[in-house]
């Protein structure tokens, strides 16, 4: 079976490589010629551990190829995974233009039966729209099936999540389409949730919304723990051992970011509005997240007596460790606030870069964390990179003007840092 993967972003590239590793013949399609060139040269256009080795292996074995030519790619395949972006529009609704584009291309170029599998995160009801867009673009009728197969991988552990998923969700109208998708994943050993396309689409949003709400719950509790002088990490452990609650996604911090949670929560809230429903709990979870970084910023402002004329080092730009993704990263909100209060900001990240608007601002991008902390009145930790845990902290302390450490990820041991002479403030933890 020849498989086409449309979109070579995070999800598309990972999906293409995983399918190639499962033994399928795979073509990656993207209109972005630069991305395709990079992939053909054996490089991954973003940072994700393990992908480059897999890419080189499959390029060498000729089990994967990449192209910008939609018409040829669609004519030569049997099944198509849609992995194009679904970015947010200003009102929070989902920008469906790429989904529509690829659907119409499939309609225009497919010259026989195709199995179309939607992996992108899309609003409930998209499955029917994809079918309609394909049909209306067909010059003459050809049969096809559309299945919904949402993706649950996390950045930073994309390969492990894909090879050992917790579950595979398949939403399709006919048994044949379900079996065809199952066959593609035959080598996976995990539960399969087979359901309707609309339910599959909703499961994806419900999953991200639940995880985001769990984070906002612990983050809101962390604010109270700060007032009560209670360690929120101990609360998380104490409640997380109850299997009905579960220990994961209870790490308090300056909030969730990334290309998924903020966008998908906004998308689900928009779906609720369109259907005359209100998801009050989710609205609040989003609001807690939007303001969470301010909790730490306010503490720092009080401690420093304002930021005017103060030097502040921000360690960590990425929205989480092991990725260079800065989309919706809380570090950026913090930096913008610090700049607006006239702080002299120095930033470092092991791999992530500042976005263009911030790169133009008067701040200093540093090659090492030590350089960023030079002469600083405070250090903010915004991403829990492992390397930051093992820095020469006594050395950093002596390079700083004042040894104030604001830990936005509760990643350091408060007692150790205090014993070293730091003023230490985490989130619900000090
Ligand atoms: N990033 C994640 O961790 C993750 C995880 C699960 C689900 N998702 C969902 O998967 C989808 C893709 O996410 P991503 O992070 O890979 O997006 P991305 O923005 O990194 O990549 C999307 C790619 O699609 C390409 N594209 C646009 N139009 C196209 C067309 N007509 N044909 C072929 N390619 C086209 C773009 O050029 C781009 O390279 C989104 O719906 C997202 O919500 C993402
Ligand atoms: O206890 C926690 C766990 C996570 N986070 C933050 O939450 C965000 C998201 O983290 P994570 O879920 O690990 O990363 P993503 O790659 O965004 O993955 C999420 O979004 C993807 C896209 O939809 C889904 O496929 C995944 O299942 C879902 O976990 C990051 O900013 C984390 O710092 C916390 O603050 N506390």
**Whether residue 321 is found in the same domain as residue 375:** yes
Domain of 83 in residue numbering reads as 2-195
Alpha-carbon distance 158 to 319, whole Å? 15
**Whether residue 167 is found in the same domain as residue 279:** no
Q: How confident is the model at residue 92 (pLDDT cuts 50, 70, 90)?
A: confident
**Whether residue 260 is found in the same domain as residue 376:** yes
How far away, in angstroms, is 248 Cα from ligand 2 center? 11
201 assigned to some structural domain = no
How far away, in angstroms, is 30 Cα from ligand 1 center? 10
User: Is 175 annotated as contributing to ligand binding?
Assistant: no
**Whether residue 229 is found in the same domain as residue 356:** yes
> Could you tell me if 114 and 80 are in contact, meaning their C-beta atoms sit under 8 angstroms apart?
yes
How do residues 156-213 score in pLDDT, each as one tens digit? 999 999 999 999 999 999 999 999 999 999 999 999 999 999 999 999 999 999 999 9
How do residues 285-325 score in pLDDT, each as one tens digit? 999 999 999 999 999 999 999 999 999 999 999 999 999 99
204 assigned to some structural domain = no
pTM greater than the 0.90 cutoff: yes
User: Is 252 annotated as contributing to ligand binding?
Assistant: yes
Count up the domains in the chain and report the number. Answer: 2
**Whether residue 142 is found in the same domain as residue 280:** no
- Give the C-alpha distances (Å, rounded to integers) separating 359 from 320, 345, 362: 20, 12, 8
The pLDDT value recorded for residue 3 is: 98
200 assigned to some structural domain = no
How do residues 133-152 score in pLDDT, each as one tens digit? 999 999 999 999 999 999 99
**Whether residue 324 is found in the same domain as residue 218:** yes
**Whether residue 224 is found in the same domain as residue 188:** no
**Whether residue 87 is found in the same domain as residue 166:** yes
Catalytic: which of 77, 225, 260, 382? 260
**Whether residue 163 is found in the same domain as residue 306:** no
Q: Which of 27, 84, 92, 94 to mutate to test the pocket of ligand 1 (most atoms within 8 A of CB)?
A: 84
How do residues 7-64 score in pLDDT, each as one tens digit? 999 999 999 999 999 999 999 999 999 999 999 999 999 999 999 999 999 999 999 9
430 assigned to some structural domain = no
- CATH number, domain containing residue 232: 3.40.50.720
203 assigned to some structural domain = no
> Could you tell me if 184 and 1 are in contact, meaning their C-beta atoms sit under 8 angstroms apart?
yes
Element (H, E) at 280: helix 280-304
User: Is 155 annotated as contributing to ligand binding?
Assistant: yes
324 assigned to some structural domain = yes
112 assigned to some structural domain = yes
Name the average pLDDT for the chain: 97
202 assigned to some structural domain = no
Residue with tokens 């995160």: 121
């Amino acid at each position: 079976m020849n498989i086409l993967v449309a979109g070579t972003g995070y999800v598309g590239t990972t999906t293409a490589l995983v399918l190639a590793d499962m033994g399928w013949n795979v073509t990656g399609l993207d209109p972005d010629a630069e991305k395709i060139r990079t992939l053909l040269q054996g490089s991954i256009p973003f940072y994700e551990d393990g992908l480059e080795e897999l890419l080189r292996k499959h390029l060498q074995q000729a089990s994967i190829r990449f192209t910008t030519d939609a018409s040829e790619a669609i004519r030569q395949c049997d099944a198509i995974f849609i992995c194009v972006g679904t970015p947010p529009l200003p009102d929070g609704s989902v920008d469906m233009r790429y989904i529509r584009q690829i659907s119409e291309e499939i309609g225009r170029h497919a010259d026989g039966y195709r199995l179309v599998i939607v992996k992108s995160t899309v609003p409930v009801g998209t499955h029917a729209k994809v079918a309609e867009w394909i049909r209306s673009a067909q010059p003459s009728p050809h049969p096809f099936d559309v299945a919904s197969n949402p993706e649950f991988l996390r950045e930073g552990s994309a390969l492990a999540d894909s090879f050992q998923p917790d579950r595979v969700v398949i939403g399709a109208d006919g048994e044949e389409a379900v079996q065809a998708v199952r066959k593609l994943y035959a080598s996976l050993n995990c539960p399969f949730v087979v359901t309707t396309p609309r339910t599959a689409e909703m499961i994806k949003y419900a999953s991200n919304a639940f995880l985001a709400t769990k984070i906002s719950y612990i983050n809101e509790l962390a604010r109270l723990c700060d007032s009560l002088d209670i360690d929120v990490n101990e609360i998380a452990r104490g409640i997380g051992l109850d299997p009905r609650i579960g220990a994961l996604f209870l790490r308090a911090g300056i909030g969730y970011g990334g290309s998924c949670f903020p966008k998908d929560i906004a998308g689900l809230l928009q779906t609720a509005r369109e259907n005359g429903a209100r998801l009050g709990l989710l609205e609040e979870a989003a609001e807690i997240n939007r303001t969470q970084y301010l909790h730490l910023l306010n503490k720092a402002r009080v401690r420093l007596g304002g930021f005017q004329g103060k030097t502040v080092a921000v360690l960590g730009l990425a929205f989480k460790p092991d990725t260079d993704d800065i989309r919706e990263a809380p570090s950026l909100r913090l930096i913008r606030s610090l700049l607006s209060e006239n702080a002299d900001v120095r930033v470092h990240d092991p791999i992530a870069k500042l976005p263009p608007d911030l790169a133009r601002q008067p701040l200093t991008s540093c090659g090492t964390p030590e350089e960023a902390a030079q002469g600083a009145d405070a250090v903010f930790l915004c991403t829990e990179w492992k390397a930051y845990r093992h820095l020469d902290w006594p050395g950093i302390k002596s390079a700083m003007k004042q040894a104030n450490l604001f830990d936005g990820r509760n990643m350091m041991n408060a007692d150790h840092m205090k014993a070293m002479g730091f003023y230490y403030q985490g989130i619900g933890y000090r």
